[in-house]
Amino acid sequence: MVLRTMTWNLWWRFGDWERRAPAIVEVLRAQAPDVVCLQEVWASQDESGGVTDQAEVLAEALGLHAVSTEYAWFDGLSFDNAILSRWPVEIVADERLPRADGELGHRRALVARAESPWGSWPILSTHLEYRFDASTTRTLQLRRVMELVAEHRGDPERDLPMVVGGDLNAVPDSDEIRMATGRRPGAPPGVLLSDVWEQVGEGPGITWDRRNPDVEASAWPDRRIDQLMVSWPRPKPVGNPLRAWLAADEPVVVEGRETWASDHVAVVAELQTPS
C-alpha cells in the first residue's frame, strides 16, 4: 500500500468560481488522494451566522474528512488553508506566519494528524507570501513551517514523517527552497524537507502554467511553485516518494464547456508506507 498525497491551490472565489466548483470536485474524485493539502479555500457566513466551508462541502461530496484554519472574516468571507483526509483528522496547530517585519501576517500553516492504517500521520498545509520580490518574507515563513515540522513530527528515527504540501510561491532554486532542502544555511537544526517532485517527478512540473487562460496575462513566467515535501530525517524507507504527477493541468468539461478548475496545477504523489 501507498499513501497518496496531493496539494492544490483552489483560487478562492476568483474568476467564475461557481462554474469551477464542479470541476474541482471532478479533479479530486479522479485523483482519489488519501490526504489533500488545500490553499485558498473559501468559507462564507450568512446573516444568521451560519457558515458554509468549501473544505466541508468537498469532504461531503467525496466522502472525506476535513479541517480548516481559523476563519478570518472580511465582508462575510474567509480565505483559508485546509486538509482533507480519507481517515479522521484532527488539528494540532494552526498558526499565522511572520511578515518581513517580524509581525504576524495573514498567511497560515495548518498542522493536523490523519488516523491512517499505519498510525497517526502528520500533515501540514501552508501558503506563503505571493509577491515576486518577497523572498525574504517567504524565507521567514518557511523557516517557521520547518519549526512546526520539528515540533510535531514526533521521533524522526521512528515515527511517521511529516507531509508538507503548499503553494510556496517559490521556485526550486530560490533561497527559501534551497534552505528547506539543505542547499544553503538557515534551516532549523535537525530538520530538512525532501522535494518529492525533484526525486520522482518527470519533466519541469510546472504548476503556474500560462496555457491556462486565467493566468496567461500574468507577468510571471511558467514556474513550479507548488510543492509536496516530506520531512527528513525519517525512518527508512517510510515516506520515500515512489512517483509523482500533475493534476488539473488541463481543462475539465463542465456543462459542455471546458473549464480550468483553478489557476494553479495540483501536485500528486505516492509515498512509501510501513511494510
Q: pLDDT per residue over 253-266, tens digit each?
A: 988 889 999 999 99
CATH of domain 2-272: 3.60.10.10
Instruction: Identify the pLDDT of residue 221.
Output: 92
* 3-class state of residue 187 by DSSP: coil
**Nine-digit cell string for 154:** 514526533
Going by pLDDT thresholds of 50, 70 and 90, the confidence category of residue 47 is confident
Instruction: Identify the pLDDT of residue 81.
Output: 98
What's the rounded mean pLDDT across residues 139-145?
A: 98
Instruction: Identify the pLDDT of residue 156.
Output: 96
pTM of structure:
0.97
Q: Give the C-alpha separation, 251 to 266, whole Å.
A: 13
15 φ, ψ (degrees, to nearest 5)? 60, -155
What residues pair up with 270 in beta bridges, in sequence order? 4, 243
What residues pair up with 69 in beta bridges, in sequence order? none
Instruction: Identify the pLDDT of residue 275.
Output: 80
The residues near 253 (Cβ < 8 Å, ≥ 6 apart) are 259
Pick from 2-11, 112-121, 165-174, 253-262: least confident: 253-262
Instruction: Identify the pLDDT of residue 48.
Output: 80
Q: Give the C-alpha separation, 194 to 240, whole Å.
A: 9
- Over pLDDT 90: what percentage of the chain? 93
The residues near 34 (Cβ < 8 Å, ≥ 6 apart) are 3, 4, 5, 85, 86, 87, 114, 116
User: Residue 94 CA to chain centroid, in angstroms?
Assistant: 14
Going by pLDDT thresholds of 50, 70 and 90, the confidence category of residue 42 is very high
The answer, yes or no, to whether residue 237 has pLDDT greater than 80, is yes
Question: Which secondary-structure segment (H or E) carries 180?
Answer: helix 175-180
**pLDDT, tens digit, 9 for 90 and up, residues 214-228:** 998 888 899 999 999
Instruction: Identify the pLDDT of residue 102.
Output: 86
Longest dimension (CA), the chain: 53
Return the residue matching grid coordinates 469551477. 20
**Nine-digit cell string for 228:** 509536496
